[in-house]
Amino acid sequence: MPILKEMCKRVGAYISVVGWADTKGHDPNWYWKYQWSKEEEDDFEKWLADYLYANKETQRVLLRGYGSQTKKDCKEAAEEFVCQYGWTVEEVCGE
């Protein structure tokens, strides 16, 4: 839960928008409701990789398919998490 709380905090979202379908306030399209910049996404990925590396219990849950659970594994897991569950990235004009 600390991961989703941090992700929501960064875009000003209430944690209740993210959750199971039977959760009060849950929106099934929650991931489309908020955006962050590429820089914000990269910063969250770094935060998450550091968090995973420091929290062995969370690491065991999110890195089940990874071998040694090294810092590199934590970084890859963070990238995968953001790809699957992160907010959409704002489009920047001219890019």
pLDDT, tens digit (0-9, with 9 covering 90-100), for 25-68: 666 777 788 899 999 999 999 999 999 999 988 888 877 766 66
Residue type, 29: N
- Which helix (H) or strand (E) element contains residue 8? helix 2-11
Q: Inform me whether the pLDDT recorded for 77 exceeds 80.
A: yes
Task: Say which residue the tokens 């890195």 belong to.
Answer: 63
Residues 23/1, Cβ–Cβ less than 8 Å: no
Q: What is the pLDDT of residue 73?
A: 87
Q: Inform me whether the pLDDT recorded for 95 exceeds 70.
A: no
Of 90, 84, 91, residue with least CA distance to 31: 84
Q: What is the pLDDT of residue 13?
A: 87
Task: Say which residue the tokens 């399209």 belong to.
Answer: 29
Residue type, 39: E
Secondary structure string (H, E, C) spanning 20-62 = CCCCCCCCCCHHHCCEECHHHHHHHHHHHHHHHHHCHHHHHHH
- pLDDT tens, residue by residue, 10-29: 999 887 777 655 666 666 77
